[in-house]
Amino acid sequence: AIAAPDPADLATTTAPPHGVPVPAPFPGGFAAALDKNALRGARLGVLRQVFRPERTDPQVLANFERTLAELRAAGAEIIDPFIVPALDS
């Protein structure tokens, strides 16, 4: 996530504000400005059609599964799998 311009990345120095109302230099850290309940009630679909085990690095799949567990723990409803019937055609 990009929260503010990065002096080491010239492309971000001219970027418009990102809408996070936290004054620099992020008192309490950037995480302090986040809503811990932001994912409660969110429905997220898992499009496993694009993460086929035979074509995806096992470490990527393991990280993906950990991320899904974190999203569930944060209150998101995970629709797994979410199927797009015509995706493969």
Residues 25-76: pLDDT tens digits?
566 666 777 788 999 999 999 999 888 889 999 999 999 999 999 999 999 9
Task: Output phi, psi for 32, to 5 deg.
Answer: -65, -25
Predicted confidence band at 89 (pLDDT cuts at 50, 70, 90)? confident
Burial zone of 23 (CB within 10 Å; 0-12 exposed, 13-18 middle, 19+ buried): exposed
> What residues are paired with 43 via a beta bridge?
77
Residue of 84, 78, 55 whose CA lies nearest to 66: 78
Q: Tell me: pLDDT of 3 over 70.
A: no
- 54 sits in which H/E element: none
CA–CA distance, 31 with 26 (Å, rounded to integer): 9
Confidence at residue 65, expressed as pLDDT on a 0 to 100 scale? 95
Predicted confidence band at 5 (pLDDT cuts at 50, 70, 90)? confident
